[in-house]
Chains A and B, each alone.
Chain A
Amino acid sequence: MSVIQIMPEFLCNRIAAGEVVQRPASVVKELIENSLDAGATEIIIQINDGGRELIRVIDNGTGMDQDDLLLAFEQHATSKLFHVDDLAEVKTLGFRGEALASIASVSRIEAKTCNNSRAEGFRLFMNGGKVDCLEGVAMKQGTSITVRNLFFNTPARKKFLKSTNAEYRHCVEIVRRFAISRPSVRFHFTADEREVYRLPPEDLSSRLRRIFSPRVMENCIAIHQEEPPLTLVGFMGARDLVRRKSGEQYFYVNGRLVTDRLMNSAVYSAYGASLDKGEFPFFVLFLTLPLKEVDVNVHPAKTEVKFKNEWIIYQFIRQSCEQALKHWLVETDRKETSLTSNFQEAEFQSLKTPALPRLEGEQLTFSDTSKNSEPQAGSKTSFEQPSMLSLDDRIRRFEKSISDEMFYSDEPHSITIERNFWQAHGKYIFTQISSGIVIIDQRAAHTRILYDRALKSLQQISASASQQLLFPISLELSPDDYSLLLEIIPSLEKLGFSMREFGKYTILLEAIPADLHWLEEGKVVMQILDDYKASRRLHNPISEKVANSYAERAAIRRGEIMTPAEMQRLTDELFQTDNPYMSPSGKPIIIQLTLNELKRRFEER
């Protein structure tokens, strides 16, 4: 007798059950999927003892006839997939045809179904995968599956179940996932006769409000981004909803909840550096894309999918989320600003009489140098600050920009800055706005300005102005750095660097961007190269990466003392950038303290 034999079917099913049915929650999942695939608009879920004793899912879907009912519990019996081509375009949640058979093999099942309005249904009892009895029954259209004594015949599996509470929580989580994905379906979920969810058909935001809490929705940012054939809709939490653990990230691909680390990281990266390591933002996102662009058949529990063009989708998600966040920042800012009663009035008055800079009298001098260098800037001894504009130039420019903002600009993000600047610790610029005060991180602000400027020059055809060097600098590179540098030389040249080959693995730097006269020429190139190297794993375009490294390296350092006029200019330029609130790497640039908040803090006991 040969050693190898074909396994009996019941054994096959039990083994398969090990994959598909790991715990009561898996049963709940499979049953709800079936209900939804059957077009149910109402689903009732009941569990007892964390699902060990009983799991019942009742729906008002299409139902089955007698033959189908029997077939449904056969391995690989499905109504959802008939042809190999169908696999490439799976529309339904289930398709493998193994769920019911697997569940049936490890439990006692009672299945009732009716596919007509005459209430002529059937009832099937099964025990450990074997049919006990099939009989007619009167019931409404739909299907009801009751799973009792799960794992009664696989003691090993049963032993590994966690406590009732833990299993209960898993079930809740499963129901929650489906409830989020189908807000138009009525869900009713009870556990040990206690109601957990009673969710009427509604839209996504009220569904989320019901499932989570009103507070969560208040801090959520709506996303709706279409870039045919891709669509991304949903909500992402503002920074208040950042959690220390993962678990509140819901990412649906064509209605199917999946866990995809890459796409999660796309969302995380949109938050940029405002997320620390080990922090996870809340989000509920629905990605819709052509069915053939995604393969769902990679995991038995179907929690993973494979995208054909994952980087395109990564970019799409990241950018959509970034935009939504940015938009939200601007909006909340406006809202907060308009909260103060005198704001509109102040705005209105400033429209009529553009305020002149009251620089001399009003500034708070904070450091000795600012006091010293101011009169100097005018007389221009040119020793202390060689490359700076005269004060008059700056005031003129600032006035112009202010009047620009007030009269011509319909940009959403123009806070009217009143000209009172002072600098703390050589790091932060404080200034007053009508609704309170803002604190600007000077380095982050400058990084944003340089980044935007760099991106702009990178898009231009001609290179930026570049200051030729009297003493060209030779850079000796390792072979891999050398090849990497060759990769970014075209971008660097557009920024205003100029270099040429000078022997093996040596580059001669002959010119630097004309607006960067304070930099250490050779070092900055090497630093940009290092940053670029470190960012190689990121998948944004070269220009973004180069612009980012460049901005990071060329920005003024923390600790650099600035004159009030310089601070004005920086603030002024900052508000002309695309996103004055967040640095390219995602760090916040501006913190606002509203008068209300200050007041509240002072009045707190």
Chain B
Amino acid sequence: MKFTVSKNDLYQSLQKVSKVTPVRSTLPILSCILMTTKKDSLCLRSTDLEITMETYCNADIIEEGSIAVPGRIILDIAAELPETDLTFFIKDETIEIKTPLGGEYKIAGRSSSEFSAAPLIDDSTTILFSAEKFQRIVDKTIFSVSHNEMRGALNGVLFQFSKNQLRGVATDGHKLVQLTYENFKNNTLERDIIIPVKFLNVSVSNLQKTGDVRFKVGKNHVMLETEESIIYTRIIEERFPDYESVIPIKNPNKVLVDIDDFLSSVKRISIFANKNTHQIALTFSENKVILSAEDIETASTAKEELPIIYEGEPMTIGYNAEYLKDVFRHLDGDKAKIYLNTPLSAGLFYPEEQKEEEHLLILLMPIRL
């Protein structure tokens, strides 16, 4: 196996695929990147067994072949080299890289047969939709995904494809985000799929900002194609909780707040909140909200008052300040609407003005004070 490749092309491609390479793994092969020659290009593939990513870079193929290369070393040497042509000679499992300046670098690779094959996606349905929408769903929902690896369905974002609608939902059981696009033109795919968070992160960083993304959805896998790369992942095959039933309908108490003012106030107050529970209290009454926190352990308290528009009975409700900050960071526009029922039921947060064809709702469960 022998090929020549531009250092810059190779380095860019390596950077992309190495995002999938697991940081720590008990399987040494997973820390490798598979290089396979194609007609006029070199295919690079990495996998963590859940996600697989393939990308191509232009190369001058002299002799065909396939080899697994230690990812870290190849990435490091590529980073340190100036732009030049690199020639790879692979014999048995030894990789030798030569530069025109006379540099010679040798490392031991692994047989390509150790590398797991790319998932086969059969019976797949292809759906095209705007990269912007995909990106926005990921941006808005991903903070709500559960980080507890044991939570199955909650470790991903639920994408609901239906006839006229696309919706992304994420929740960790304490907060929930739901972003809906109406008038979604879709004749091919009506299905709910839960997509793992890592896939979404890797995809978004590889995506062009405009145009369409092409999703190929199979039975167990989903595949995203961009111009240079293909990313596959296993779908989380678990039942997403019935989130619609927990969104309260009757919410007699209505708040309108300025997002920036409120967020900065929460940031200040949260400094004085208990460092383990992060709890802060919001006391709503006619035209004002009092934000307060108290930490007995450090004997600290804080209180601020903000003007708001409030319709409803006076009430006090507790929230985890970290969650509350997250919620407000994800609301667009100047003002936010908050709909409340009781101090123990979910609070509903909306931007005052929704974007066109879009509906964003964030749900946050309170803390009983």
Contacts and interface: CB of A to CB of B under 8 A. Distances in A.
Interface of A: 368-369, 382-383, 386-387, 389, 393, 397, 400, 453, 463-471, 496, 498, 511, 513-515, 517-521, 523, 569
B298 A400 contact: yes
Nearest to A517: B174
A383 B143 contact: yes
B23 A470 contact: no
Contact of B148 (A466, A518, A569): A518
Contact of A517 (B274, B320, B326, B345): B320
B368 A470 contact: no
A465 B318 contact: yes
Nearest to B326: A382
A397 to B, nearest CB: 6
Given A463-B368, A468-B367, A514 B171 contact: no
Contact of A471 (B173, B344, B345): B173
18 contacts: A368-B23, A382-B143, A386-B322, A387-B278, A465-B277, A465-B367, A466-B368, A468-B344, A468-B346, A468-B365, A470-B175, A470-B176, A511-B368, A514-B277, A514-B320, A515-B274, A519-B148, A521-B173
B151 interface: yes
B246 A393 contact: no
B253 to A, nearest CB: 16
Contact of B365 (A369, A387, A467): A467
Contacts of A389: 275
B26 interface: no
Contacts of B274: 465, 515
Nearest to B241: A471
Contact of A470 (B246, B271, B320): B246
Contacts of A521: 173
Given A369-B23, A382-B326, A520-B151, A469 B173 contact: yes
Contacts of A453: 276
B369 interface: yes
A407 to B, nearest CB: 15
Nearest to B147: A386
B249 interface: no
Interface residues of B, number: 40
A515 B367 CA distance: 10
Nearest to A523: B150
A389 B143 CA distance: 16
B332 to A, nearest CB: 17
A216 B174 CA distance: 57
Given A386-B326, A514-B279, A517-B320, A469 B367 contact: no
Contacts of B175: 470
Nearest to B346: A470
A32 to B, nearest CB: 58
Given A386-B322, A514-B320, A469 B368 contact: no
A368 B24 CA distance: 9
B366 interface: yes
A403 B30 CA distance: 47
Interface of B: 23-24, 142-143, 147-148, 150-151, 171-176, 201, 241, 243, 246, 271, 274-279, 298, 318, 320, 322, 326, 329, 344-346, 363, 365-369
Closest 8 CB pairs of A and B: A515-B276, A514-B277, A468-B365, A466-B368, A515-B277, A465-B277, A465-B279, A471-B241
A467 B346 CA distance: 11
Chain A, interface SS category: mixed
A126 B239 CA distance: 93
A542 to B, nearest CB: 22
B174 A469 contact: yes
* Most-contacted residue by chain A among B143, B274, B276, B320 (CB, 10 A): B276
A38 B289 CA distance: 84
Contacts of B275: 389, 393, 397, 569
Contacts of A400: 298
Contacts of A383: 142-143, 201
A520 B368 contact: no
A386 B24 contact: no
Nearest to A472: B246
A569 B276 CA distance: 11
B365 A469 contact: yes
B59 to A, nearest CB: 30
A586 B175 CA distance: 38
A520 B173 CA distance: 10
B244 to A, nearest CB: 12
A465 B369 CA distance: 5
Contacts of B277: 464-465, 513-515
Contacts of B23: 368-369
Contacts of A518: 147-148
B278 to A, nearest CB: 8
Nearest to A450: B276
A470 B363 contact: yes
A386 B173 contact: no
Contacts of A393: 271, 275
A470 B147 contact: no
A459 to B, nearest CB: 13
Contacts of B367: 465-468, 514
A189 B143 CA distance: 80
A524 to B, nearest CB: 11
B295 to A, nearest CB: 10
A208 to B, nearest CB: 44
Nearest to A389: B275
B129 to A, nearest CB: 24
Contacts of A471: 171, 173, 241, 243, 246
A416 to B, nearest CB: 20
A348 to B, nearest CB: 27
A357 to B, nearest CB: 16
B147 A467 contact: no
Contacts of A513: 277
Given A393-B275, A465-B279, 8 more contacts: A382-B326, A463-B368, A465-B369, A468-B367, A469-B173, A515-B274, A515-B276, A518-B147
B174 A467 contact: yes
Contacts of B278: 387, 514
